[in-house]
Amino acid sequence: MTDPAQKVTFFMVVRWLFAKALGSTDATGLPNFKQGRARGRLVLAVFVLCFVAISGRIIQLAVFDDGFNRIRTSSTAKVRIPRPDIIDRNGFVLATDLRTGSMFANPRKVNDIDEAIELLSPHLPDLDVGKLRKKLQSDKGFVWVKREVTPRLQETLHDLGIAGFGFRNETRRIYPMSRLASHVLGFVDVDSVGLAGIEKYLDDRGRLFAASLADPHKAAAAPVELSLDVRVQHGLTEELKRAVKKYKAKGALGIVMDATTGEVVASSSLPDFNPNDPKDALKKDRINRFTGGVFEMGSVFKAVTFAMAFEQRTITLQSRFDVRAPLRAGGSKIDDFHPQRRILTVPEVFTYSSNIGTAKMALGVGVDAHQAFLEKMGFFDRLRTEIPEAAAPLRPRKWRTVSTMTASFGHGISVQPLQLVSAAAALVNGGRLITPTFLKRDRELVPSHSRQVISAETSKKMRYLFRLNVEKGSGRKAETTGFSVGGKTGTAEKVVGGRYSKKHRFNSFLGAFPMNAPRYVLVVSIDEPQPLPETHGFATSGWNAVPTAGKVIARIAPLLGLRPETEPVAAESILNARVGG
Amino acid sequence: MIRFLNAALVIAVLIAASIVYGLERESRLADGRLGKINRAIAEEREQIRRLRAEWSYLNTPARLEKLAVKHLQHAPSPVSQVIKLNEVESRVPGLAPEGEAGGDDAIATMLDGNVAAVEGEVPQQPAQPDLIGNILKGME
């Protein structure tokens, strides 16, 4: 250990091992590297080692190919997820992305301009030949020939095989059913960003929902299923269009909602627009009237007051109200449109639509309880559905006694029509207020979107009153053979120049069908209908909104799969039916 | 011995190289095929989207209504025509056991008449109308 020459180092051991392996040593027992043969063996050994390593790796890749897969998937992960299609509840496409090509030319590569134009012009009738010729004669490298060519035309043009022409693909949002349900769908801008309706929802509050539809592996997205039924939507829109034309109205709106799930089956607002070309969508009269605007709904709102009074037990069906004298409140007078000047029973107050009786009823409940009930029914909050256009309700800044009196018959408080429809659904469906939705809703999820606001007993009384009003009251013209309708009419005077105008009306029918077990609620409102000779100069709701609603129901009820009743349901039979049956 | 080994190794290298080359070429070709198939799938998807959009356009209720009014002699069925199954016998004349004289001709003539009406008026459609073009044209 003391002699340094005797020290055995690691390097020496390696040298010795090499020497042994190569089989030749010099005098000191170390490998003789000078000998060519030994050197050759060393090189050989290194090569053999390398080959063994490479073969091992190949076998590893071939047999256990996990690593290989991982590499592949990571390279395809960066794909653009397309905007989801929008379909109706039966699967009809309402909005989809389509590839359209835009034709361009490289003038330097076009050999024969005349021939090219001659070949193109029969397929592009609206092509400006002179302009195109000038473009092609220029020495630019790129000119547009025609933007947004449909796929089919693109195929034809491509097959012409003209040198120097080509296509650039672009994606365009297409609405195959054009105007149908335009207010629900909304529209997108040139960059496919939603600007209104469900389209905006998908980019906005519904981003998470939209992302949940996407399938990252296939660059595809599942479609958005709306609650709308295009056939019902068309029936509703068509009847509203006729009504607008017939009564020379400014506009109209209609909503049909499933009273048991809160799904909006159809909702239409006129005038509408074409989402394929939404240039007039932003005009003032094209607003979405069912959620984007609030209205003083007028007498249809009385139904809410009646339900409240039943619920608070301040009245029964047998109670009586003295409507002989108009009410004085603040500086104004509350009078009836059809003054009866006698003592009315509760059902009579409903069917004669007595403002005096309803105001007294609300006062009987009390100002605070009235406010509390309206709040419970959601009339003080902005109703939020998927549609981003949601107007906040308007109510008096300071709620006085007179506010309760006017709000009892739907004046002085403005709400979204959809808000009223969802409240009406609660009035007839046994008392559950369900948040409305424009997306298809699973029936099992309904309880989590709803709450009990009135008792089943009150709901039964409301069904009775609704039915009675169509049987005998102001809603008679909504009666439809085969489907027992119930509902409340309303003729609201619009505020023009700061005061209520007798000539500008907002007429509504708020109803439900079939009345023995209401499945659908609807509202039909006509904005400023004009009196006609055939309506005997009247322009109240019973002459326009009500018959329109009747036509709507007659048209859509069979589409909704309801079985016609062989004989009409009498109001009394609703009252006698067992609750919860 | 060593010469034999060298020769064997050279041959092995050549064989291995050709196998590797073959594999590489095969994988390159497969990659090309994969790309082509993927593009074809994307193309088919696009076609499906287009066809679905066209189908939806053809199903636009307003369009169907117009066609139905033009070519069919049907009206929306009134509620009075909807009957329960056990009432069929009494309501449809041909099925009544007593009324054998009329037989099932009532229904047959009804059907025949309508079929003829439909057959006579179906117009000749152009082979491939450009439907997407129609949707876009509908934008006024």
- Is A581 within a domain? no
Residues A165, A303 share a domain: no
- Is A81 within a domain? no
Which active-site residues of A does the annotation give? 299
**Residue B56 in contact with partner chain A when CB distance is under 8 A:** yes
Q: Which residues of B touch A238 (CB under 8 A)?
A: 62, 65
pLDDT at A143: 84
Assign residue A505 a region: left if phi > 0, alpha if psi is -120 to 50, beta otherwise? Answer: beta
Please state the ipTM of this predicted complex.
0.74
Query: Where is A127: in which H helix or E strand?
Result: none
In terms of residue numbers, what domain contains A213?
A: 86-225
pLDDT at B119: 46
Cis (ω within 30 of 0) for the bond into A514?
Answer: yes
Please give the full DSSP string across A419-442, using - where no structure is assigned.
HHHHHHHHHHTTSEEE--BSB---
Q: Taking the model in full, what pTM does it have?
A: 0.77
Average pLDDT over residues B89-108: 58
Residues A558, A421 share a domain: yes
What's B74's DSSP letter? -
Q: What is the CATH number of the domain that holds A110?
A: 3.90.1310.10
pLDDT at B33: 95
**Residue A175 in contact with partner chain B when CB distance is under 8 A:** yes
pLDDT at A27: 56
Q: What is the CATH number of the domain that holds A313?
A: 3.40.710.10
Residues A152, A52 share a domain: no
- Residue appearing with tokens 């801008």: A189
* Nearest of A305, A300, A403 to residue A362 by alpha carbon: A305
Residues A515, A459 share a domain: yes
**Residue A93 in contact with partner chain B when CB distance is under 8 A:** yes
Compute the nearest-CA separation of A276 from chain B (Å). Answer: 6
Residue pair A489/A468 in contact (Cβ under 8 Å)? The answer is no
Residue where a domain terminates, one of A32, A48, A63: A63
- Is A192 within a domain? yes
Residues A55, A102 share a domain: no
pLDDT at A283: 84
**Do residue A481 and residue B80 have CB atoms under 8 angstroms apart?**
yes
Locate the domains of chain B by residue range. Answer: 1-59, 62-121
Residue pair A513/A553 in contact (Cβ under 8 Å)? The answer is yes
Strands in A497-577 per DSSP E: 499-513, 520-527
- Residue appearing with tokens 């079939």: A514
**Do residue A98 and residue B49 have CB atoms under 8 angstroms apart?**
yes
Compute the nearest-CA separation of B79 from chain A (Å). Answer: 6
pLDDT at A76: 45
Please give the full DSSP string across A451-470, using - where no structure is assigned.
EE-S-HHHHHHHHHHHHHHH
Q: Residue A153 is nearest to which of B57, B133, B139, comparing CB atoms?
A: B133
**A133 or B125: which leads in pLDDT:** A133
Segment B11-33, tens digit of pLDDT: 999 999 999 999 999 999 999 99
Residues A299, A207 share a domain: no
Nearest CA in chain B to A84: B49
Compute the nearest-CA separation of B54 from chain A (Å). Answer: 7
**Do residue A234 and residue B65 have CB atoms under 8 angstroms apart?**
yes
The pLDDT profile of chain A, 581 residues, written as one tens digit per residue, is: 445 556 677 777 777 776 666 665 555 655 555 667 778 889 999 999 999 999 999 888 777 766 555 555 544 444 567 789 999 999 899 999 888 888 888 888 888 888 888 888 888 887 888 888 888 888 788 888 887 787 778 888 888 888 888 888 888 888 999 889 999 999 998 888 899 999 999 998 888 888 888 877 767 788 999 999 999 999 999 999 999 999 999 999 999 999 999 999 999 998 999 998 888 888 888 888 999 989 999 899 999 999 999 999 999 999 999 988 888 877 778 888 888 888 999 999 999 999 999 999 999 999 999 999 999 999 999 999 999 999 999 998 899 888 899 999 999 899 999 999 999 999 999 999 999 999 999 999 999 999 999 999 999 999 999 999 998 888 888 888 888 899 999 988 888 887 888 888 899 999 998 988 899 999 999 999 988 887 777 888 888 999 999 999 988 988 888 888 877 788 888 888 765 44
**Residue B39 in contact with partner chain A when CB distance is under 8 A:** no
Q: At what angle do helices A355-365 and A367-376 cross, to 10 degrees?
A: 100
Strands in A456-564 per DSSP E: 486-496, 499-513, 520-527
**Do residue B140 and residue A277 have CB atoms under 8 angstroms apart?**
yes
pLDDT at A252: 94
**Residues near A22 by Cβ (< 8 Å), separated by ≥ 6?**
A31, A38, A41, A42
Compute the nearest-CA separation of A356 from chain B (Å). Answer: 40
**A442 or B120: which leads in pLDDT:** A442
Residue where a domain terminates, one of A181, A197, A225: A225
- Is A176 within a domain? yes
B112 alpha carbon, distance to own chain's centre: 29
Which spans in A64-144 are helix H? 66-76, 113-120, 129-137
* Nearest of A190, A234, A227, A185 to residue A84 by alpha carbon: A185
Residues A163, A296 share a domain: no
**Do residue A235 and residue B76 have CB atoms under 8 angstroms apart?**
no
Q: Residue B50 is nearest to which of A47, A98, A555, comparing CB atoms?
A: A98
Residues A142, A52 share a domain: no
pLDDT at A25: 58
Q: Which residues of B touch A100 (CB under 8 A)?
A: 132
Number of structural domains (chain A) is 3
Residues A398, A252 share a domain: yes
- Is A263 within a domain? yes
Residue pair A434/A307 in contact (Cβ under 8 Å)? The answer is no
Segment B38-70, tens digit of pLDDT: 999 888 988 888 898 889 999 999 999 899 888
Residues A54, A91 share a domain: no
Nearest CA in chain A to B130: A152
Compute the nearest-CA separation of B92 from chain A (Å). Answer: 17
**Residue B59 in contact with partner chain A when CB distance is under 8 A:** yes
pLDDT at B46: 85
**Do residue B139 and residue A277 have CB atoms under 8 angstroms apart?**
yes
**Do residue A177 and residue B57 have CB atoms under 8 angstroms apart?**
yes
Residues A201, A271 share a domain: no
- Is A71 within a domain? no
